[in-house]
Structure 1
Amino acid sequence: MNDFSLSEMEMNMSFTDLLNRAQMSENYGEDTSLGVGLNVVNEPIVSLEVPLNEIDYDENGSDIDDDEIIDARTKHKKNEMLEKESQHELERLGEQLQRDNVRYDIDSDYDDEFDVHSPTASSDEDEYGYLTTPACTRQDTKSQKAKVNSLDWIDTTFSVEQKFENAVEFRKEIIDYCARNGVDVKYTKNHKNKVGVRCKDDNCKWKIWASIPKNKRHFEVKTYHGVHSCGRKNKVKKITYKWIPRHYLSKFKSNPYMKLQEITDSVWNEHGLKVSVHMAFRAKKCALNLIVGEYKEQYGMLNSYAAEIYRSDHNNTIKFQLNANVFHRMYICFATLKEGFLAGCRPFISIDGCWFKGPYGGQLLVAVGRDENNQMFPIAWAVVDVENTESWSWFLQLLAEDLQTSDGAGYTVMSDQQKGLLKAVAEMWPQAEQRVCARHVYMNFREVFGGGQEYRMHFWKIAKSTTPNEFKENVDKLHAISPEAAANLMGRNYEKWCRAFYTPQCQCDAVDNNMSEVFNAFILNSRHKPIITMLEDIRESIMERLHKKRDFIRSKNLAICPRAQEQLEKAKIAARGWNAAFGGRFTIDLFL
């Protein structure tokens, strides 16, 4: 970005002088000359004053703020807010735990320190390790019920001869039992070959004993007394932080920014148990570690995933590359999407990249078109380890092959001026018309001159000028307010973001990259998932979207698409004050 410092003489320079000065300056390595565009500015024109509420002067600068674009921006803002709040909450709790000298090991094989040690001997077991209390078997259940006090209750979760894989699985079932019933227990024996458990209430007779039978490999319940005489509790010490991710892992996957208070509320509402914020903090850390393991596993399955996509349709394009046996990048373009784009979409492509939210980073590069209804139509996407000129060139080369073009002739490419992207487009698609998102230009402009209402209004008037004459008038108005601001805009490659200098080849006058913005919001909830899960979410979501859009268009009894019809009706209303008169030969003059 060029910095402009104007002298007093320069402050009084005319608009034409400013243009000439901008043409001689170097900006983004591009030729900023207007060419023949301003050779007609000396002709008088009629300028219509449009009410402020009819032009989008907000900082987003979208041409058509339909519900889809508004929802996309709302999702982005909400996601950014949740991400910041979640990160701040984890940092704050982590600092507090450090101050309190609280240490924890999320890799421990035991649920808490009390599980590590068990009594060396128990007074209620015989020489074979069985509890001496008479067993509660199925045969005497009826007689036992007759002896139970009306305030007691019988648990039927366990039964004698019930089998478990090992002691670990048995302990997990004990903890789940405590959570379901709101009871606390203690281990009378805790060994890999035998486990004894009784209710922590000394007045309660509930107890269970399980061990490995002789010449067997499974774990089996030997003795069980399932009568509780104690009441339900809302705090159970056997419920540790490891129990939470085991039961709420799917929630952590779908919402990695879940707040600690949401975790405690979920446990209370679903199980009637109170857990501390510190336990929720440790549970969240443990859950994220478990998810990381799934991320790593799915990267090892990418080769099979790519083979399955190709097997399902040989016309699908799938490119999968490794670098020293480590994932490098993957390109995906489904046959139905490229066929649909070539058959019914404008030759207008928005390209953009977005970050992954997972532990291994990476970026998703996407190419999005506009369908006949002027809405998002995804074409292709790629997963890359880093965004640079080389990765963009690779992506654009494969995209050109799928779209049957060698130099991009006839296509218009809209981008956000990402790192290395403009250079890659110029090299791989040299004949394509390049545009840059006016909204991102405004963001950079705002960093220098601020985001006041006056600057914002004049910027979008300039960006949405439809003729060179109107462009000159709007720049003159900004120059009258701030010559420095006008000079700054003239040095920002205006031919690529001002509507007055667009060619008509793509039949699209968009000045911002909102189609890519809609796509990024469309996959927002998938970007933090493991890679194959994310790619499948994208595929399934697009499939469902195309089905809904097809049914929507079929339900309309219109000669043209609904959004085009809507724009036509607005144009009719705007043209009511104009008159047409014969101008000689084959021309018609329009005047107010």
Structure 2
Amino acid sequence: MEDVWDFDTIDVEVDKDLKKQTNRCNDAFLNNLCPDIAGEEGDDFAIPEIEHIDDDVDLNEDDVVENEDQFDLMREGSGSDEEVSSESDQDSKLEFEYSTHDPTVKWNKMRPFLGESLKLVAVCASDPQKFQCPFNVRASWMNTERLFQIKKLVDKHKCVRNDRNTNLMGPTWLGNQFLKELIRKPKLKCKEMQVIIQSRFHCNVSWSKCYRAKCSAMSLIEGRLSDHYAKVWDYGGELLRSNPGSSIKITVSQNQDNTTTFQRIYICFKAIKEGWKVGCRRVIGLDGSFFKGQCKGELLTAIGRDANNQVDDLELDGGRGIAVISDQHKGLLEATKEVLPLAQHRQCARHIYANFRKVYTGVAAAKSTVEGEFNMNMQKISDISPSAYEHLMARDPSSWCRAFYGGGLACEAVENGMAECFNAVIVDARKKPLLTMLEGIRLYMMERFYNLKEEGQKWDTEICPTSIKKMEAFGESLKSWYVHPSGVTAFEVRNGFYSYCVNLQEYSCTCNLWAVSRIPCVHAQAAIIYTQQDPASYISSWFSKEKYMLTYGSNILPVNGSNMWVESPYPKPLPPIERRMP
């Protein structure tokens, strides 16, 4: 198909202000199941912290590690009259006398006493006669700061590590270290855990211990996940309390044992609804994306376009005078017909082109603005490959070609790039449990509203900058078009054999691009400049700074942490039942 215009990709319109979402939610409850996203590209997990062992834990003599580097905690007798102040220069010069611990007390039974005179020392537990290891740490308790201050540190070992004795690495401790890893990868094999432990801790652990550790971690994950879904009603109530007027809908299913199972939740804040109604064009982008963590499900987003051609979330409460853009997902197509029967439906040309390239090469004439140009391009494809022509015509060209778009919506986009960009921004949030994911998205949108409002206040023009850039892109070949006046507002604009009629009073051009985008095309710009006017003055009010500021006039209000949520009287729902996809 050498005669067909060939290119690699469909130009996708994206929002450059969409930035990578970071870990914004610091709630202790919401983050107890979140994997360490920041370390995902590097190490599998962080080096573990020292585990605190309860007093009621009884270990056998075999559990005590011999010839292993470990810390011995010693406490000075409470009867001493000496008072220590960590902030005093004079006290820092005192020579502390550290007492030796009682060898009859097991290491797991030792507890530091946080008194006024407390000094701790940690030394290497290797045989001093054999290795004479100099490693030691000496610290004192600081009453004012309520922490220990290291007085002396010798961070060198001369002893030999014993990697065969792993009694300290019990199944429970190992399970806690692999908790985040198993959230990301629930099907992690025990042999893989052995390799990770050997690489990270330089210890050899048996397969059976890894199996017990995995069972311990999975039971902990399932228990915490149940606690997460049990707070869905509480979270919804907090959103309504903090953002009155918002739409929060939670759906659960009733089980035979009188319990409930979570099904879905719908959230649309009042600030977003009001902003879309007063400042956004009537174009909605629908897209779905799957959760990537232990929590299974799918996230459906509805994206609108503000005056600066950026992203805004909205409420779906009608279909008349609205255009919906989505991919070729059959569920979205059928749902759109059922919920918005009067809406104009558009298909994302990028997805159509991606499927087209799997079988054929060439170009789908999605950006043809008049039917004659579309038919000419399709005829070229038909002459070379009739099957390619039939493939494209079967996809309903009226839903993906500009030539068949109606006017008045001020949107000429043939792809759903805005929704795709939003899903890419929240990709880290989709790896987290339900409430943590929703909180991350809420925080991102709340900060985005503030940042975009601050940005709009800096503009010194009445038209949004993105619209000006798009108009300049339309008029790239402006110097090649010649204007022939027919009246005060009617003109004929020619370039060789191509000729188009422009009417400035009706804001129309026979190329149809001005009517679809509501931004002057190259022919309209030539006519406007001929009358010694500014083409920017003919851009639709949908792209004005006033509309933009109205969109972000309201704020998404702050929400209290999980420790302040009011408990709902409704039964606590269980996690959804995992089902195998067909």
TM-score for the superposition, normalised by structure 1: 0.56
Cα separation, partners in 2 of 1:439 and 1:525, compared to 1, 3 Å: same
1:445 lines up with 2:380 in the alignment: no
Deviation, 1:379, is 2.5
Paired residues of 2:287 and 2:326 also in contact (CA < 8 A): yes
Letter in 2 for 1:555: K
Paired residues of 1:264 and 1:277 also in contact (CA < 8 A): no
Once structures 1 and 2 are overlaid, which stretch shifts more, 339-348 or 497-506?
497-506
Question: What is residue 64 of structure 1 aligned with on the other side?
Answer: 13
State the secondary structure of the residue aligned to 2:479.
coil
Paired residues of 1:350 and 1:368 also in contact (CA < 8 A): yes
User: Of the candidates 437, 455, 473, which is equivalent to residue 534 of structure 1?
Assistant: 437
User: Runs of 5+ in structure 2 lacking a partner?
Assistant: 22-35, 45-52, 64-73, 83-95, 113-120, 136-153, 255-259, 496-582
User: Of the candidates 301, 314, 325, which is equivalent to residue 379 of structure 1?
Assistant: 314
Alignment of 1:220-299 (within 5 A): 231=158, 237=166, 238-239=168-169, 242-243=172-173, 246=176, 274=202, 290-299=220-229
Cα separation, partners in 2 of 1:203 and 1:308, compared to 1, 3 Å: same
User: Of the candidates 333, 338, 349, which is equivalent to residue 268 of structure 2?
Assistant: 333
Cα separation, partners in 2 of 1:288 and 1:493, compared to 1, 3 Å: farther
State the secondary structure of the residue aligned to 1:573.
coil
Paired residues of 1:235 and 1:274 also in contact (CA < 8 A): no
Alignment of 1:351-430 (within 5 A): 351-379=286-314, 399-400=316-317, 405=318, 408-430=319-341
Distance 2:462 2:223 in 1: 53
Deviation, 1:64, is 2.9
Deviations for 1:173-203, whole angstroms, at most 9, x for unmatched residues?
xxxxxxx979568xxxxxxxxxxxx999898
Paired residues of 1:376 and 1:518 also in contact (CA < 8 A): no
Distance 1:465 1:477 in 2: 14
Deviation, 1:295, is 2.1
Deviation, 1:427, is 2.1
Question: What is residue 511 of structure 1 aligned with on the other side?
Answer: 414
How many pairs does the alignment contain?
Answer: 404
- Higher normalized contact order (CA 8 Å, seq sep 6+, divided by chain length): 2
Question: What is residue 20 of structure 1 aligned with on the other side?
Answer: none
1:322 lines up with 2:252 in the alignment: yes
1:552 lines up with 2:455 in the alignment: yes
Distance 2:471 2:16 in 1: 19
Distance 1:239 1:560 in 2: 64
Alignment of 1:13-162 (within 5 A): 57-59=7-9, 61-64=10-13, 67=16, 117-118=60-61, 137=77
Distance 1:230 1:316 in 2: 61
Deviation, 1:419, is 3.2
Question: What is residue 309 of structure 1 aligned with on the other side?
Answer: 239
Question: What is residue 378 of structure 2 aligned with on the other side?
Answer: 475
1:583 lines up with 2:513 in the alignment: no
Deviations for 1:283-305, whole angstroms, at most 9, x for unmatched residues?
78865664443222110110111
Distance 2:99 2:411 in 1: 66
Question: What is residue 22 of structure 1 aligned with on the other side?
Answer: none
Letter in 2 for 1:317: S
Once structures 1 and 2 are overlaid, which stretch shifts more, 570-579 or 242-251?
242-251
Distance 1:277 1:305 in 2: 42
Question: What is residue 192 of structure 1 aligned with on the other side?
Answer: none
Cα separation, partners in 2 of 1:493 and 1:51, compared to 1, 3 Å: closer
User: Runs of 5+ in structure 1 lacking a partner?
Assistant: 1-48, 73-81, 91-109, 121-133, 143-153, 172-179, 186-197, 207-226, 381-398
Distance 1:296 1:184 in 2: 42
Deviation, 1:159, is 7.9
Deviations for 1:347-387, whole angstroms, at most 9, x for unmatched residues?
1101111111233411111111111111111226xxxxxxx
Distance 1:355 1:182 in 2: 50
TM-score for the superposition, normalised by structure 2: 0.57
Deviation, 1:444, is 2.7
Letter in 1 for 2:278: A
Paired residues of 2:183 and 2:294 also in contact (CA < 8 A): no
State the secondary structure of the residue aligned to 1:347.
strand
Distance 1:508 1:412 in 2: 9
Letter in 2 for 1:330: I
Distance 1:469 1:492 in 2: 19
Cα separation, partners in 2 of 1:63 and 1:336, compared to 1, 3 Å: same
Answer 1 or 2: which has greater helix percent. Answer: 1
Distance 1:328 1:465 in 2: 43
Distance 2:187 2:492 in 1: 61
Deviations for 1:261-293, whole angstroms, at most 9, x for unmatched residues?
9x969996xxxx545699998778865664443
Question: What is residue 574 of structure 1 aligned with on the other side?
Answer: 477
Identity of aligned residues (%): 31
Cα separation, partners in 2 of 1:229 and 1:373, compared to 1, 3 Å: closer
Distance 1:514 1:71 in 2: 16
State the secondary structure of the residue aligned to 1:564.
helix
Paired residues of 1:499 and 1:511 also in contact (CA < 8 A): yes
Paired residues of 1:184 and 1:200 also in contact (CA < 8 A): no
Cα separation, partners in 2 of 1:503 and 1:253, compared to 1, 3 Å: same
Once structures 1 and 2 are overlaid, which stretch shifts more, 298-307 or 311-320?
311-320
Paired residues of 1:62 and 1:514 also in contact (CA < 8 A): no
Distance 1:582 1:534 in 2: 59
State the secondary structure of the residue aligned to 2:13.
coil
Paired residues of 1:182 and 1:234 also in contact (CA < 8 A): no
Question: What is residue 7 of structure 1 aligned with on the other side?
Answer: none
Deviation, 1:62, is 3.3
Paired residues of 2:14 and 2:418 also in contact (CA < 8 A): no
Cα separation, partners in 2 of 1:138 and 1:332, compared to 1, 3 Å: same
Note the aligned Cα RMSD (angstroms): 5.3
Letter in 1 for 2:416: N
Distance 2:376 2:457 in 1: 44
Paired residues of 1:356 and 1:362 also in contact (CA < 8 A): yes
Letter in 2 for 1:58: D
Letter in 1 for 2:339: M
Deviations for 1:470-511, whole angstroms, at most 9, x for unmatched residues?
111111121122111112111111111112111123211111
Cα separation, partners in 2 of 1:535 and 1:240, compared to 1, 3 Å: same
Alignment of 1:161-176 (within 5 A): none
User: Of the candidates 244, 261, 282, which is equivalent to residue 347 of structure 1?
Assistant: 282
Deviation, 1:341, is 0.9
Distance 1:157 1:580 in 2: 99
